[in-house]
Structure 1
């Protein structure tokens, strides 16, 4: 299969500026630019960039402002920022020479497992897999792999299947797999009649190409603005134990309510109403402030901390209420979403 793939690549590969030699610097720049960006778009950006910064030493001496200007329009500017950091590190820690070892490459800013594999295989002809979206698609269709490609636990399987095909010419093989995925084994309309591997392809034989690769649908996060009632009495704060079902079940926390941005009532009044309805309790309002956000699997909280004070420590069994000194609050089973608010809360309580 490898020989058939390489023969096809030799006769059909596109002429791309970063393929003219095996300079690891140029391969690195191209791979970073190609993240989230089409090849046709990258070509002009690549040529301008290499013209301005022909070597890693030149880039290490560049300015962030200048690099950002060259990057303008590519987006994801953290990539551009990491380019300078990485170039500086290569020059100062590796004497201007790209390390060949994949693990050493992954220690450089902005270089992850895929980019490290691409540099090692394409530039240094090492049998290291570079498994991007194109390669994942090809491998999954060739083998009818139903393991979801967007779950980390399956990444090693896809890497191993890629390595099994890499019998010779790792540099060309890596580029051939990318080319096959980009030009032939496309997501929606694969050109199987032009594929050098179709006769050996499991999904082609079963006519199930479009069933692969398998992806687990990500749960769409919804955003909620949540009001937390921080009721203070002396050095103690009021905690309630949440219900046995639902979000934060069986954990201690502050009384909370989902805030309605469209309500005519201000946030503090919505939180006051919640305390009155749930606990028949009317502490004196102090002030509200923005807390730290927290992301659950399917919900993103924007928290508003509303502070109250009282001389009366109410008691309740449903929901269960306890008054806890702030210095002892860590002894309670508090969820992370609330623990991360404690520094803010501590400072505010001192002022109250």
Structure 2
């Protein structure tokens, strides 16, 4: 690993950010920051929770809808769980939505609607981990916290030519990111690192020729930037099989159930199904079921092959209940795929 002049690197990075910062609905850009505009901690926190393991492009519209419906943390804290879960549908990693509500309520209940300004105070909130706490403290309050996401890991691995593969390299990359973090404008620095990783120091085909850190980057000097960070081979994901039953009454009401709060898709709306263990199981109500085909979906730890059974009828279901005001957009992605397969079969 080569020694880097961190002060020079940080200064270059901030100059680049001042000229090239991405415009985002939750961000206060460098020009506005320079004249005293401060980021709203609620906006910063909400965006950071949404952005976990999700792309900026996917989050923009969700963020705008959430703010339109719940413009303050007090509004979100007072929201019904089902309403928030419905707005979150399709964004994935649904435990984040449950943590979002728990955190908003704790901020209102325990802190008078004001987010703590320190990493330690933020870490004490429900569902706030090291990354989110550092990001909010840095961006919203200009605390010199070390913010490390996947983009920052990649920039540091290349800048310092770290050869240790991920995930073993994470502690070293956090240490190196700390060396780069300045006392002045740490929030802008954190966002500059993220922007650099997202737009120039990209996972594939980094555009080193226009990088503000050109000439300082040990990985680029060694001709190895595109190969870093090194990663251990990922284990093969297992494949699980399951079935769901999609039943619609003649009046249009749809049979649904709310999944248990804990576990996969916790608290989300869905169709009655089995345990996704290949065992099948009884239908929730007697009906003339037909096979609408299979949908596939990938979760963090496994691939799912889901058989969709569809029928029209009524009866007294053993599970769930009929929803007259059913909205497909309130479903998580895998259940929306099942609904699309069911409705396509109905059209045929």
Fold match by TM threshold 0.5: yes
Cα displacement (A) at 1:110:
2.0
Cα offset for 1:218? 3.6
- The count of residues paired between Structure 1 and Structure 2 equals 225
How far off is 1:147 after superposition? 2.1
Instruction: Check whether the contact 1:136–1:149 (CA below 8 A) recurs between aligned residues.
Output: no
Q: Give the superposed CA RMSD.
A: 2.1
Say which structure is richer in helix: 1
- Name the TM-score, length of structure 2 as normaliser: 0.61
Output the CA distance in 2 between the equivalents of 1:89 and 1:32. 15
Q: Conserved in 1, the CA contact under 8 Å of 2:153 and 2:170? A: no
| Compared CA separation, residues 197 and 55, structure 1 to 2 (3 A) | same
Indicate the structure whose relative CO is greater, using CA pairs within 8 Å and at least 6 residues apart: 2
Distance in 2 between residues matched to 1:110 and 1:211, nearest whole Å: 34
- 1:316-350 per-position Cα deviation (integer Å, ceiling 9, x unaligned): xxxxxxxxxxxxxxxxxxxxxxxxxxxxxxxxxxx
1:199 pairs with one of 198, 215, 224: 215
Tell me: CA distance 1:222–1:34, structure 2 relative to 1, closer, same or farther (3 Å). Answer: closer
Q: Does 1:125 align with 2:142?
A: yes
1:66 corresponds, among 49, 66, 83, to 83
Matched, 1:5 2:13: yes
Structure 1 runs (4+) deviating above 3 angstroms are 218-224
SS at match of 2:66: helix
Looking at structure 1, the residues matched to 142 and 188 of structure 2 have their Cα atoms a distance apart, in angstroms, of 8
Partner of 2:62: 45
The structure 2 residue matched to 1:104, chosen from 104, 118, 121, is 121
Q: CA–CA distance in 2 between the matches of 1:75 and 1:219?
A: 22
Compute the TM-score of the two structures, normalised by the length of structure 1. 0.61
What is the rounded CA distance, in whole Å, between the counterparts of 2:236 and 2:23 in structure 1? Answer: 40
- Take 2:10 and 2:152, find their aligned partners in 1: how far apart are those partners? 14
Cα distance in structure 2, aligned partners of 1:223 and 1:3 = 48
Which residue of 2 is the match for residue 157 of structure 1? 172
Q: Which residue of 2 aligns with 1:166?
A: 181
Alpha-carbon contact 1:27-1:123 (below 8 Å) kept: yes
C-alpha change, 1:180 and 1:94, in structure 2 (3 Å) is same
- Match runs of 1:138-153 below 5 Å: 138-151=155-168
Alignment of structure 1 residues 1-352 onto 2, 5 Å: 1-20=9-28, 21-151=38-168, 154-167=169-182, 168-220=184-236
Which string of whole-angstrom CA distances, capped at 9 and with x for unpartnered residues, describes residues 120-168 of structure 1? 11011011111000000000000001122313xx433212211211223
Return the offset for 1:104.
2.4
